């Protein structure tokens, strides 16, 4: 187990921790953003942001080519003040909070043929969660999505992805001043889906974003989430839950950009891995710029390895450019559910399957409660139990 | 009335230097209500005996038999042994992050009984047992053994023993690393369970101190993977005075 914990890190000019960062950019902020695909070279796998990624699976989504596939959208009757509209490519670019940050994302935006925009009008307060389900039919799909929370609006949006697709997307999340948004992205793909996504959020003054990402399905999922503060007094909570079994690659990269004073960020990602070829990657970058005085930030990644062979990479990076901060820290730990723990639980009469369930449910319980949508929380526990059944079957086969 | 019968038990362990024979023919019978102290120097194989009875995968049984009321214990999986009525209080209880004590206890009780305990009586039972062991109620919400002190871990083991109500309990150096106060609390707990349920006890210890609090009916001196001598309480007193040298010289 490796643990790094700096609950109150000292303020260096550039305070960075990483697992052997080869040639880091001068700052995470220096990475280019552009709607022009050619602004990004085709990654080779040596780049810092691609070095853990399964490029073989992602390759089709790096080609500067149009596709004609679509996802099927299942949208409920939207409450008053909430609209879902198709937006022209020019408007889509204009209304995005910033340009894409990597090639997959730039390709997605360039060939999505415009964007779908979910817009919550200013001062709209929606009590019930807005649940949208998109289903892949095995096609090659590029997507561009805008989520726009108007000033002083309050809403919960759940976007659930099912079925299978080779899907890349660029998602822009815009919180106007004092908006509150709970955005839940569920990756419940079939086992052969490939998904590369970039989610970029901009937080206006006093706005509150709670962003939860749950990745259970898919052959390869690579999600890049960025949150940038544009106004003081805003806060972002980013939660992530993932569970990879054999043959799955699940990668979550995060970047929180503290560019203005008095903002708060919390990043909490937890993952479980089971099966010899299960693979997860978590990279959490936090930048506290010179201007961002009184920043309060903490990021945490925990991984639970259930079987031999599975591999979890965890790379927290904290860059601090000002000494005037309220708090900054990160923690990363990867633990193993080992034979001794298993023996202990079994010696109390608990079967192997039950023991694994007890440990995994315990591991995720507090995180699931953070999602804040009871129906999602319930179905997630069920989905995790299903994952475990799958793991148990796989292990039983190995033993046979 | 239950009987644990150990006959000619041999066990080995794989080491980097090859297979090492540790248990070399153990014979021992424990009946309900009896307390058998197993005393011996470090490295004599006492803990191996405990783990072998519980079914730890590290130890291979190469010869002999173990039965509980005639049932073949060695043929049972680890959890089946617990369900059959065996309990091992471990010398080094394992931390299980993310699993609360209360959740763990309820899951274990449900597994042992084959049905969930009645909520109201269960909560009462847990509270009473924790009070008796001087465990603060906040314990229930902590993760299993995580950050527990040595004394807390041992009390937690006895708490489980009381709630799971086994037929035969193996206490593996439950007294090691305890101060006198903690030792007294733990010993009282063991005596209480024995009085209430007629538990049969194998009390593995390196020191004689715990025998001031838990009266043994039989004392067995364990040396080099075997029982070298048996007797009553007086044998413990002699060990207290003489130490294990007499046995080590002949071993």
ipTM: 0.96
- A79, part of any domain: yes
Environment class of residue B6 by beta-carbon count within 10 Å: exposed (0-12), middle (13-18) or buried (19+)?
Answer: buried
Contact B65, B7 (CB under 8 A): yes
Q: Which residues does chain B have within 8 Å of residue A351's beta carbon, measured at their own beta carbons?
A: 79, 111
Q: Which residues does chain A have within 8 Å of residue B57's beta carbon, measured at their own beta carbons?
A: 339, 343
Compute the nearest-CA separation of A389 from chain B (Å).
Answer: 18
Count of alpha carbons within 13 angstroms of residue A22, beta-carbon side: 8
The per-residue b/e assignment along A138-159, b for 16 or more CB within 10 angstroms, e otherwise, is eebbbbbbbbbbbbbbbbbbbb
CB-based contact B94 A347, cutoff 8 Å: no
Q: What is the pLDDT of residues A114-145, one digit of tens each?
A: 999 999 999 999 999 999 999 999 999 999 99
A290 vs A391: which has the higher pLDDT:
A290
* Distance, CA of A12 to CA of A259 (rounded, Å): 17
Q: Which residues does chain B have within 8 Å of residue A362's beta carbon, measured at their own beta carbons?
A: 96-100, 103, 143
- A51, part of any domain: yes
Helix (H) or strand (E) holding B83: helix B78-84
List the single best residue of B82, B99, B104 to mutate versus A (max A Cβ within 10 A): B99
- Looking at residue B14, its pLDDT comes to 92
Count of alpha carbons within 13 angstroms of residue B143, beta-carbon side: 16
CB-based contact A350 B95, cutoff 8 Å: no
- Looking at residue B97, its pLDDT comes to 86
* Complete domains list, chain B, with CATH: 3-250 (3.40.50.300)
Compute the nearest-CA separation of B221 from chain A (Å).
Answer: 26
- A135, part of any domain: yes
Percent of chain A with pLDDT over 70: 93
- A185, part of any domain: yes
- Looking at residue A21, its pLDDT comes to 45
Percent of chain A with pLDDT over 90: 82
Compute the nearest-CA separation of B58 from chain A (Å).
Answer: 10
- φ and ψ at residue B230, rounded to 5 degrees: -130, 155
Q: Which of A161-175, A332-346, B232-246 has the highest mean pLDDT?
A: A161-175
Neighbouring residues of A74: CB distance < 8 A, sequence distance ≥ 6: A132, A133, A134, A135
- Looking at residue A398, its pLDDT comes to 72
CB-based contact B94 A343, cutoff 8 Å: yes
Per-residue pLDDT for B193 more than 50? yes
B242 vs A265: which has the higher pLDDT:
A265
Adjacent-strand bridge partners of A141: A167
Contact A241, A215 (CB under 8 A): yes
Alpha helices (H) along B114-244: 119-132, 150-164, 180-197, 233-242
Give the confidence band of A25 by pLDDT, cuts at 50, 70, 90: low
Q: What is the pLDDT of residues A60-92, one digit of tens each?
A: 999 999 999 999 999 999 999 999 999 999 999
List the single best residue of B98, B160, B161, B163 to mutate versus A (max A Cβ within 10 A): B98
- φ and ψ at residue A205, rounded to 5 degrees: -55, 135
List the single best residue of A270, A342, A347, A367 to mutate versus B (max B Cβ within 10 A): A347
* Closest residue on chain B to A362 (Cα): B98
Residue count of chain A, please give it.
400
Q: What is the pLDDT of residues B104-150, one digit of tens each?
A: 999 999 999 999 999 999 999 999 999 999 999 999 999 999 999 99
Q: What is the pLDDT of residues B49-87, one digit of tens each?
A: 999 999 999 999 999 999 999 999 999 999 999 999 999
Establish if A340 touches chain B: CB-CB under 8 angstroms: yes
Per-residue pLDDT for A20 more than 80? no
The encoded tokens of residue A232 equal 């003081």
CB-based contact A362 B98, cutoff 8 Å: yes
Q: What is the pLDDT of residues A284-302, one digit of tens each?
A: 999 999 999 999 999 999 9
Query: Looking at the partner chain, which of A304, A347, A359 has a beta carbon nearest the beta carbon of B82?
Result: A347
Q: What is the pLDDT of residues B197-232, one digit of tens each?
A: 999 999 999 888 999 999 999 999 999 999 999 999
- A136, part of any domain: yes
Per-residue pLDDT for A27 more than 50? yes
Three-class secondary structure assignment of chain A: CCCEECCECCCCCCCCCCCCCCCCCCCHHHCCCCCCHHHCCCCCCCCCCCCCCCHHHHHHHHCCCCCCCCEEEECCCCCCCEEEEEECHHHHHHHCCCCCCCHHHHHHHHHCCCEEEEEECCCCECCCCEEEEEEEEEEEEEEEEEEEECCCCEEEEEEEEEEEEEEEEEEEEEECCCCEEEEEEEECCCCCCEEEEEEEEEECCCCEEEEEEEECCCCEEEEEEEEEECCCCCEEEEEEEEEECCCCEEEEEEEEEECCCCCEEEEEEEEEECCCCCEEEEEEEEEECCCCCCCEEEEEEEEEECCCCCEEEEEEEEEECCCCCCEEEEEEEEEECCHHHHHHHHCCCCCHHHHHHHHHHHHHHHHHHHCCCHHHHHHHHHHHHHHHHHHHHHHHHHHC
Average pLDDT of chain A, as a whole number: 92
Q: Which residues does chain B have within 8 Å of residue A363's beta carbon, measured at their own beta carbons?
A: 97-98
Give the confidence band of B245 by pLDDT, cuts at 50, 70, 90: confident
Residue count of chain B, please give it.
251
Q: What is the pLDDT of residues A274-288, one digit of tens each?
A: 988 999 999 999 999
**B42 in helix, strand or coil?**
coil
* Closest residue on chain B to A349 (Cα): B79
**Chain B residues near any Cβ of chain A (below 8 Å):** 54-57, 77-79, 81-83, 87-88, 90, 93-100, 103-104, 107-108, 111-112, 143, 160, 164
Q: Which residues does chain B have within 8 Å of residue A349's beta carbon, measured at their own beta carbons?
A: 79, 82-83, 108, 111-112, 164
- A370, part of any domain: no
Per-residue pLDDT for A4 more than 60? no
Query: Looking at the partner chain, which of A335, A348, A362 has a beta carbon nearest the beta carbon of B82?
Result: A348
Closest CA relative to residue B172, chosen from B251, B87, B59, B229 = B87
- φ and ψ at residue B212, rounded to 5 degrees: -75, -25
Residue with tokens 């995005």: A96
- Looking at residue B250, its pLDDT comes to 56
The angle subtended at Cα A337 by Cα A336 and Cα A339, nearest 5°, is 110
pTM, full prediction: 0.85
Per-residue pLDDT for A7 more than 80? no
Give the confidence band of A112 by pLDDT, cuts at 50, 70, 90: very high
Per-residue pLDDT for A16 more than 70? no
Structural domain span for residue A109: 4-337
The angle subtended at Cα A313 by Cα A51 and Cα A18, nearest 5°, is 75
CB-based contact A343 B78, cutoff 8 Å: yes
- A352, part of any domain: no
* Closest residue on chain B to A367 (Cα): B98
CB-based contact B94 A341, cutoff 8 Å: yes
- A348, part of any domain: no
Query: Looking at the partner chain, which of B54, B95, B103 has a beta carbon nearest the beta carbon of A347?
Result: B54
CB-based contact B79 A350, cutoff 8 Å: yes
The encoded tokens of residue A356 equal 């694994």
Write out residues 261-320 of A within 8 Å (CB-CB) of B.
304
In total, how many domains does chain A have? Answer: 1
């Amino acid at each position: 187990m490796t643990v790094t914990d700096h609950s109150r890190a000292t303020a260096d000019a550039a305070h960075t921790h990483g697992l052997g960062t080869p040639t880091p950019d001068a700052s995470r902020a220096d990475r280019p953003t552009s709607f022009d695909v050619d602004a990004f070279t085709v990654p080779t796998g040596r780049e810092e942001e691609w070095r853990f990624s399964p490029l073989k699976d992602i390759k089709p989504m790096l080609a500067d080519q149009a596709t004609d596939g679509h996802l099927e959208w299942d949208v409920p009757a939207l409450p008053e003040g909430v609209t879902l509209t198709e937006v022209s490519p020019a408007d889509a670019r204009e209304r995005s909070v910033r340009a894409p940050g990597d090639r997959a994302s730039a390709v997605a935006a360039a060939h999505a043929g415009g964007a779908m925009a979910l817009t919550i009008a200013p001062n709209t307060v929606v009590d019930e969660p807005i649940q949208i389900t998109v289903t892949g039919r095995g096609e090659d799909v590029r997507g561009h999505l805008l989520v726009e929370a108007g000033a002083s609006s309050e809403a919960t949006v759940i976007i659930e992805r099912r079925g299978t697709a080779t899907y890349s997307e660029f998602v822009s999340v815009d919180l106007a001043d004092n908006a509150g948004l709970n955005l839940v992205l569920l990756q419940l793909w079939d086992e052969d889906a490939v998904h590369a996504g970039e989610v970029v959020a901009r937080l206006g003054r006093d706005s509150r974003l709670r962003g939860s990402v749950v990745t259970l399905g898919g052959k390869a999922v690579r999600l890049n989430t960025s949150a940038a503060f544009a106004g003081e007094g805003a806060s972002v909570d980013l939660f992530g839950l993932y569970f990879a079994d054999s043959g799955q690659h699940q990668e979550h990269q995060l970047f929180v950009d503290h560019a203005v004073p008095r903002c708060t960020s919390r990043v909490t990602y937890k993952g479980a891995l089971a099966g010899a070829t299960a693979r997860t990657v978590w990279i959490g970058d936090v930048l506290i710029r010179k201007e961002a005085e009184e920043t309060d930030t903490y990021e945490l990644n925990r991984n639970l390895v259930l079987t031999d062979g599975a591999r979890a990479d965890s790379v927290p990076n904290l860059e601090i450019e000002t000494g005037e901060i309220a708090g900054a820290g990160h923690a990363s730990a990867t633990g193993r559910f080992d034979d001794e723990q298993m023996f202990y639980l079994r010696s109390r009469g608990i079967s192997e399957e039950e023991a694994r369930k007890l440990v995994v449910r315990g591991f995720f319980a507090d995180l699931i409660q953070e999602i804040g949508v009871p129906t999602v929380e319930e179905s997630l526990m069920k989905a995790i139990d299903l994952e475990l059944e799958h793991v148990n079957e796989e292990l039983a086969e190995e033993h046979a | 009335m239950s009987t644990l019968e150990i006959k000619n038990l041999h066990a080995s362990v794989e080491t980097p230097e090859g297979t090492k024979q540790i248990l070399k023919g153990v014979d021992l019978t424990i009946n309900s209500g009896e307390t058998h102290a197993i005393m011996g120097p470090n490295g004599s194989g006492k803990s191996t005996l405990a783990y072998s009875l519980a079914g730890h995968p590290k130890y291979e049984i190469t010869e002999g038999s173990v039965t509980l009321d005639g049932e073949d214990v060695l043929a049972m999986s680890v959890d089946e042994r617990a369900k059959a009525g065996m309990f091992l209080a471990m010398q080094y209880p394992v931390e299980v992050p993310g699993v609360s004590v209360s959740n763990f206890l309820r899951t274990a009780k449900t597994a042992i009984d084959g049905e969930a305990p009645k909520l109201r009586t269960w909560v009462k039972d847990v509270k009473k047992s924790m009070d008796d062991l001087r465990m603060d109620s906040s314990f229930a919400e902590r993760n299993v053994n995580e950050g527990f002190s040595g004394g807390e871990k041992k009390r937690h083991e006895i708490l489980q023993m009381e709630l799971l109500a086994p037929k035969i309990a193996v206490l593996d150096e439950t007294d090691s690393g305890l101060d006198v106060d903690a030792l007294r609390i733990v010993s009282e707990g063991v005596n209480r369970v024995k009085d209430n349920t007629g538990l049969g006890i194998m009390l593995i210890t390196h020191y004689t101190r715990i025998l001031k609090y838990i009266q043994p009916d039989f004392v067995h001196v364990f040396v080099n993977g075997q029982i070298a001598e048996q007797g009553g309480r007086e044998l413990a007193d002699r060990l207290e005075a003489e130490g294990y040298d007499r046995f080590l010289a002949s071993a």
